[in-house]
A and B are shown apart, each in its own frame.
Chain A
Amino acid sequence: AQTVTQSQPEMSVQEAETVTLSCTYDTSESDYYLFWYKQPPSRQMILVIRQEAYKQQNATENRFSVNFQKAAKSFSLKISDSQLGDAAMYFCAYRPANAGGTSYGKLTFGQGTILTVHP
């Protein structure tokens, strides 16, 4: 079974600084997708960034980038130039590329990291 682990229950960062959130996962699949979602107090889960396992190049979306280490099964999120609006719960999630059988509709989530941004 796939598992996703976020070892940092809480993190904090000063506005304009950089912070890295950690995520490790366990799977026997060779092809899969990894995601970082943000959940602000509004409760809606918002996709921040995604990574396809077969692509070695790390994904980047504006101030958000990932460090994807496939062999180590590590997928960390770096937030640069942190803003007050980045404060939220962040979830790492996994999904096999083959979306069939027991994978239909299912994302496996980590426990989340609460990010606080100090002005």
Chain B
Amino acid sequence: KAGVTQTPRYLIKTRGQQVTLSCSPISGHRSVSWYQQTPGQGLQFLFEYFSETQRNKGNFPGRFSGRQFSNSRSEMNVSTLELGDSALYLCASSSRDTWGYGYTFGSGTRLTVV
């Protein structure tokens, strides 16, 4: 079974630009969560999608948004990039049967804002 796939692996963007990151969950997993990882703040929850609906959202500004498609693939978008948005963005997937077993994570997208 293929794991969680995140693309691209690396991105370099300029302040003020926008960026879209992609996450393909494990086949059959309908829940996709996104996390931001930075050395200073650690791992912080961004949002979770299930069956194309956002069910939960972390404490991030509106510049951070996401969506989920009917095949459960998810994208997150960051508009008007700031230097502080430089981070590793991780997505994780789960299913109803695996809730108690944590989430399966992808290898992340490393975003650098210059």
Contact = CB atoms under 8 A, between A and B. Distances in A.
Interface stretch (B14-22, B75-83, B87-95): B87-95
Contacts of A52: 100
B94 A105 contact: yes
B102 A106 contact: no
B102 A105 contact: no
Interface string B73-114: 000000000000000101010100001111111111010000
A72 B110 CA distance: 37
Contacts of A35: 102
A103 B58 CA distance: 10
What 3 A-B pairs are tightest by C-beta distance, nearest first?
A105-B48, A105-B33, A45-B105
Main secondary structure of the interface of B (DSSP, over half): strand
Size band of the interface chain B makes with A: 20 to 34
A40 B62 CA distance: 31
B24 interface: no
A109 B42 contact: yes
Size band of the interface chain A makes with B: 20 to 34
Contact of B90 (A33, A45, A101): A45
A99 B48 CA distance: 12
B24 to A, nearest CB: 14
Contacts of B107: 42-44
Nearest to A49: B102
B71 interface: no
A42 to B, nearest CB: 6
A33 B100 contact: yes
A50 B101 contact: yes
B36 to A, nearest CB: 11
Interface in A5-34: 33
